Copies of this chain bind each other. A is one copy, B any other.
Protein backbone atom coordinates (compact mmCIF):
# COMPACT_ATOMS: atom_id res chain seq x y z
CA UNK A 1 0.00 0.00 0.00
CA UNK A 2 1.10 3.52 -0.70
CA UNK A 3 -0.30 6.82 0.48
CA UNK A 4 0.93 8.61 -2.64
CA UNK A 5 -1.43 11.42 -3.65
CA UNK A 6 -0.72 13.44 -6.77
CA UNK A 7 -0.49 17.18 -6.14
CA UNK A 8 -3.62 18.97 -7.46
CA UNK A 9 -1.63 21.41 -9.53
CA UNK A 10 0.17 18.60 -11.37
CA UNK A 11 -3.08 16.69 -11.77
CA UNK A 12 -4.88 19.73 -13.22
CA UNK A 13 -2.19 20.73 -15.71
CA UNK A 14 -1.37 17.29 -17.11
CA UNK A 15 -2.93 13.89 -17.82
CA UNK A 16 -1.59 10.43 -17.18
CA UNK A 17 -0.64 8.57 -20.35
CA UNK A 18 0.94 5.43 -18.94
CA UNK A 19 2.42 3.97 -15.78
CA UNK A 20 5.95 2.67 -16.32
CA UNK A 21 7.06 0.72 -13.28
CA UNK A 22 6.68 3.20 -10.40
CA UNK A 23 6.53 6.24 -12.70
CA UNK A 24 3.46 8.04 -13.96
CA UNK A 25 4.26 9.39 -17.44
CA UNK A 26 2.07 12.43 -18.02
CA UNK A 27 1.38 14.81 -20.88
CA UNK A 28 1.22 18.51 -19.99
CA UNK A 29 -1.83 20.24 -21.43
CA UNK A 30 0.04 22.92 -23.36
CA UNK A 31 0.20 22.93 -27.14
CA UNK A 32 3.09 25.41 -27.18
CA UNK A 33 5.53 22.60 -26.32
CA UNK A 34 5.56 18.81 -26.40
CA UNK A 35 6.05 18.48 -22.67
CA UNK A 36 6.03 15.30 -20.56
CA UNK A 37 6.31 14.81 -16.80
CA UNK A 38 7.67 11.76 -14.98
CA UNK A 39 6.34 11.40 -11.46
CA UNK A 40 7.30 8.57 -9.14
CA UNK A 41 4.18 7.24 -7.43
CA UNK A 42 6.03 7.20 -4.16
CA UNK A 43 5.02 9.41 -1.22
CA UNK A 44 7.19 12.14 0.30
CA UNK A 45 9.73 12.56 -2.52
CA UNK A 46 10.89 16.09 -3.29
CA UNK A 47 14.52 15.66 -4.36
CA UNK A 48 16.33 13.31 -6.76
CA UNK A 49 18.34 12.13 -3.78
CA UNK A 50 15.14 11.10 -1.94
CA UNK A 51 14.60 8.28 -4.45
CA UNK A 52 16.04 4.82 -3.84
CA UNK A 53 19.03 3.84 -5.99
CA UNK A 54 16.76 1.52 -7.96
CA UNK A 55 14.10 4.16 -8.59
CA UNK A 56 16.78 6.65 -9.66
CA UNK A 57 18.17 4.17 -12.19
CA UNK A 58 14.67 3.55 -13.54
CA UNK A 59 14.06 7.29 -13.80
CA UNK A 60 17.35 7.82 -15.65
CA UNK A 61 16.68 5.03 -18.12
CA UNK A 62 13.11 6.15 -18.83
CA UNK A 63 14.11 9.81 -19.10
CA UNK A 64 16.89 9.09 -21.55
CA UNK A 65 14.67 6.84 -23.68
CA UNK A 66 11.73 9.27 -23.77
CA UNK A 67 13.95 12.26 -24.37
CA UNK A 68 15.68 10.63 -27.34
CA UNK A 69 12.38 9.37 -28.74
CA UNK A 70 10.61 12.71 -28.39
CA UNK A 71 13.54 14.50 -29.99
CA UNK A 72 13.14 12.28 -33.05
CA UNK A 73 9.32 12.37 -33.11
CA UNK A 74 9.12 16.15 -32.75
CA UNK A 75 12.22 16.95 -34.78
CA UNK A 76 13.18 19.02 -31.74
CA UNK A 77 16.23 21.27 -31.82
CA UNK A 78 17.00 20.62 -28.13
CA UNK A 79 15.55 18.62 -25.29
CA UNK A 80 15.23 20.29 -21.89
CA UNK A 81 15.22 18.03 -18.83
CA UNK A 82 14.73 19.47 -15.38
CA UNK A 83 13.85 18.79 -11.77
CA UNK A 84 12.92 22.14 -10.24
CA UNK A 85 9.95 21.92 -7.88
CA UNK A 86 10.14 25.40 -6.38
CA UNK A 87 6.39 25.89 -6.71
CA UNK A 88 5.16 22.29 -6.49
CA UNK A 89 7.63 20.43 -4.32
CA UNK A 90 6.27 16.93 -5.06
CA UNK A 91 8.99 15.39 -7.20
CA UNK A 92 8.40 15.69 -10.95
CA UNK A 93 10.83 15.60 -13.82
CA UNK A 94 10.15 17.68 -16.92
CA UNK A 95 11.04 16.55 -20.43
CA UNK A 96 10.36 19.30 -22.96
CA UNK A 97 10.98 19.30 -26.70
CA UNK A 98 12.26 22.71 -27.74
CA UNK A 99 12.35 24.35 -31.16
CA UNK A 100 14.15 27.47 -32.34
CA UNK A 101 10.73 28.73 -33.38
CA UNK A 102 8.88 28.19 -30.08
CA UNK A 103 7.64 31.24 -28.17
CA UNK A 104 10.18 31.09 -25.35
CA UNK A 105 13.32 30.08 -27.25
CA UNK A 106 16.09 30.20 -26.08
CA UNK A 107 14.81 30.85 -22.55
CA UNK A 108 13.55 28.08 -20.28
CA UNK A 109 9.78 27.64 -20.48
CA UNK A 110 8.84 27.62 -16.80
CA UNK A 111 6.71 30.49 -15.63
CA UNK A 112 6.60 32.05 -19.11
CA UNK A 113 3.40 33.05 -20.84
CA UNK A 114 0.07 31.25 -20.67
CA UNK A 115 -0.54 27.59 -21.49
CA UNK A 116 -2.64 26.95 -24.60
CA UNK A 117 -4.88 23.92 -24.16
CA UNK A 118 -4.34 20.95 -26.46
CA UNK A 119 -7.09 20.08 -28.92
CA UNK A 120 -8.47 16.53 -28.61
CA UNK A 121 -6.62 15.58 -31.76
CA UNK A 122 -3.31 16.94 -30.47
CA UNK A 123 -3.79 15.22 -27.13
CA UNK A 124 -4.48 11.92 -28.84
CA UNK A 125 -1.52 12.28 -31.18
CA UNK A 126 0.94 13.18 -28.42
CA UNK A 127 -0.38 10.51 -26.07
CA UNK A 128 0.09 7.93 -28.80
CA UNK A 129 3.72 8.97 -29.27
CA UNK A 130 4.36 8.71 -25.52
CA UNK A 131 2.60 5.32 -25.30
CA UNK A 132 4.69 3.94 -28.14
CA UNK A 133 7.91 5.12 -26.50
CA UNK A 134 6.90 3.74 -23.10
CA UNK A 135 6.03 0.41 -24.72
CA UNK A 136 9.44 0.15 -26.41
CA UNK A 137 11.12 1.05 -23.12
CA UNK A 138 9.13 -1.60 -21.21
CA UNK A 139 9.88 -4.21 -23.90
CA UNK A 140 13.60 -3.78 -23.23
CA UNK A 141 13.40 -3.99 -19.43
Residues in A lying within 8 Å of B, measured CB to CB: 46-49, 56-57, 60, 63-65, 67-68, 71, 78-87, 89, 98, 105-108, 110-111
Contact = CB atoms under 8 A, between A and B. Distances in A.
Contact of A81 (B64, B78, B83): B83
Given A82-B83, A87-B106, A48 B71 contact: no
**Copies of this protein, total:** 2
A49 B78 contact: no
A100 to B, nearest CB: 9
A84 B80 contact: yes
Contacts of A65: 49
Contacts of A64: 48-49, 56
Nearest to A85: B78
Nearest to A50: B68
Given A47-B68, A78-B89, A80-B82, 20 more contacts: A46-B78, A47-B67, A47-B78, A47-B79, A48-B63, A48-B64, A48-B79, A49-B65, A49-B68, A49-B71, A49-B79, A60-B60, A78-B84, A80-B85, A80-B86, A82-B108, A84-B108, A107-B110, A108-B110, A108-B111
